Structure 1
Amino acid sequence: MQGVLTGFAVIAVVIGVGYAIGRRGSLGDQGGEVLTTLAFQVATPALLFTTLARADLSVVFSSRLLVTALSTAAAGGAFVTVGVVRRWGVGRTTIGALCSSYVNAGNLGIPIAAYVLGDASLVAPVLLFQQIVVTPVALTVLDLSGAGEKGALWQRLLTPLRNPIAVGALTGVLTSATGLHVPGPVMEPLTLIADMSVPAVLLAFGIALRGSTAPGRGRDRHLVLLSVALKSLGQPLAAWALATGVFGLHGAELLDVVVTSALPAAQNLFTYASRYRVGESLAQQSILLSTLLSVPVLVGVAALLG
């Protein structure tokens, strides 16, 4: 328990440093964006590759992946059901369903897994599932619904292969599966680059907190509150029920799946909403509110299950 709280404290301190940097303007107006781009395009793919290339794939592709898939479907499906009944429209309902179930495995999941759970590869199942299954399905639905500017269907289906984080994860999995040995002169610089991922992400997140507006206002208020309730409480509860009642997980395995399911909505969902010009306010507010609520939720999960 003390180790878990220490891990959260480390993360909070680095985020606080990022917030202070943002307040002072030490990195200029584009500092947070540069750090985010560095982490997304370079450091995090390197971290996932170096971690998964040496990982035990029986841990990655295990019952944890099924718990992730089913809890995601439960939370997203609940929002879709309400959206259909209330006639919120395909576009807004799709964005709301994503905000209810698509966790921030890349930006917050990796540092939390590294510092709290002790193994960055533990977010690999949810990261792979979201990039390989959830993202193509959701973007295809948005394309077919006519939201935003329509693009070629094959381009949407190949979205994961243009995502550097997904490429890093898949390459690492393939390296481990084939037993390929990566020589030291290649692995060592990749490891050095990978070490930038966690601090860059946390500093950028802290910088982004400066000037954030209060969520829960406007025409999408009810959609925001529903998506945040499902993301912050519904999905982790579903993961806990599935893990204990169906798959018989306990101890560290149970903590892993519930913590990852309790992560807030991913920041890239706002990018999807902006691209299709639908549910932008819903995505922005849901991400911010679920991120703020994730702190007490994650601490509570760690206290109960750690």
Structure 2
Amino acid sequence: MFGVLQGFALILGIIGAGYVASRFGVVKGEQRLVLNRVAFYVATPALLFTVLQSSDPAVIVSPVILVTGLTAVLAAGLYVLASRLWFRRGLAGTTLGATSSGYVNSNNLGLPVAIYILGDAAYVAPLILLQVVVFSPLILAILESTRGNQRGAAVALGRAAQNPIIIASALGLLVALFGLTVPEILLNPIAMIGDASIPMVLLSFGISLHGQRVLQTGVDRPAILVASGIKLLVMPAITWALCLVFGLSAHETFVATTIAALPTAQNVYNYAATYRRAETQVRDTVFLTTFASLPVIAVIAWLLAA
């Protein structure tokens, strides 16, 4: 649990630094978007290539990842249903809300959780692969279509395939699949750039909080609360139930349920900020789930850890 506390302290510390920078005028207003754009187009692709090129793609078919992936789809579907019944949003807002409900922070929080609670960082590697290789292209294709592309989803998906995040992820996966070795003279600068991705996104997130109040009165509040509730409570519960249905072992159930309780990934906010869609909604969902996920994970560890 100490490792998880360290992970949360790291994330909240960088968010706090961004807030302080904005509070004292170091960064003002939409200047923060420079950080998002550099992270989106340069640093995040470098990070994902670095992670995926050394991964084992075979683990993506493990029972844990199959349950976790199915749960993410069900959680997103529940949000879409709730949105249609109670608080209708546009395509971009609904997509980002559904993504906030099921897209977990598998990297900068998932890794410390996997290492210090689950005992092995390899538990989250399949989820990184699934989210980056399967979910991200679909999300980006939909967001691209909201930019006025009138030629259909196929063209939007083609444009998303040109996205540097998708290209870098595909290249990293190909390197892993064919067992290639990237020379250190190339890999080292890529890894160094990738290391800047998460801090830049977190700094921008902190900057965006200055002058804003979480859950301020407005049309986004129902969407934020529903997405946060699905992410923190419903998604782990569905995962636990599916583990029982599919006959997973006690340890596999613990692993899958813990992973499902991870907060919404900061990457979702990066997508929202880059495409200028539903930024406040996603920002508040990331904020709430990041703070509230720690007690949820602690309860899961207490109930299910063997």
TM-score (norm. length: structure 1): 0.77
1:110 paired residue among 107, 110, 122: 107
- Specify the alignment match of 1:132 in structure 2: 137
Alignment of 1:189-204 (within 5 A): 189-204=189-204
Percent identity of paired positions between Structure 1 and Structure 2:
29
AA aligned to 1:81 is L
Q: What letter corresponds to residue 107 of structure 2 in structure 1?
A: I
> What amino acid maps onto 2:207 in structure 1?
I
Aligned with residue 288 of structure 2, among 286, 289, 292: 292
Q: Which amino acid aligns with 1:126?
A: Q
The answer to whether the Cα contact below 8 Å between 2:57 and 2:177 also exists between their aligned partners in 1 is yes
Give per-residue Cα distances to partners, 1:152-188, cap 9 Å, x unaligned: 2232122431322222222111110011221121111
Matches within 5 A, 1:106-255: 109-118=106-115, 119=121, 121=125, 122-136=127-141, 138=142, 149-153=148-152, 154-215=154-215, 217-219=217-219, 221-246=221-246, 248=248, 250-251=250-251, 254-255=254-255
Deviation at 1:201, TM superposition (A): 2.2
Q: Is the 8 A contact 2:68 2:256 kept in 1?
A: no
Cα distance in 1 for partners of 2:287, 2:64 equals: 23
CA contact (8 A) 2:223 2:281 kept: no
Alpha-carbon offset, residue 294 of structure 1: 3.1
Which stretch of structure 1 is more off in the superposition, 262-271 or 202-211? 262-271
Deviates more, 1:43-52 or 1:95-104: 95-104
Give 1:55 shift: 1.2
* Aligned CA distance change for structure 1 residues 126 and 247 (closer, same or farther; 3 Å): farther
Q: Compared with structure 1, are the counterparts of its residues 161 and 250 closer, same or farther at alpha carbon in structure 2 (3 Å cutoff)?
A: farther
- Counterparts of 2:237 and 2:247 in 1: how far apart (Å)? 14
- Secondary structure of the 1:26 match is coil
> CA separation of 1:90/1:254 partners in 2, compared to 1, >3 Å: closer, same or farther?
same
| Equivalent residue number for residue 2 of structure 1 | 2
Q: 1:53, 1:176 within 8 Å by CA — same for their partners in 2? A: yes
TM-score by length of 2: 0.77
Q: How far is the alpha carbon of 1:57 from its aligned partner?
A: 1.6
Aligned residue number for residue 24 of structure 2: 24
Partner in structure 2 of residue 45 of structure 1: 45
Change (3 A) 1:204 1:240: farther
Deviation at 1:196, TM superposition (A): 1.4
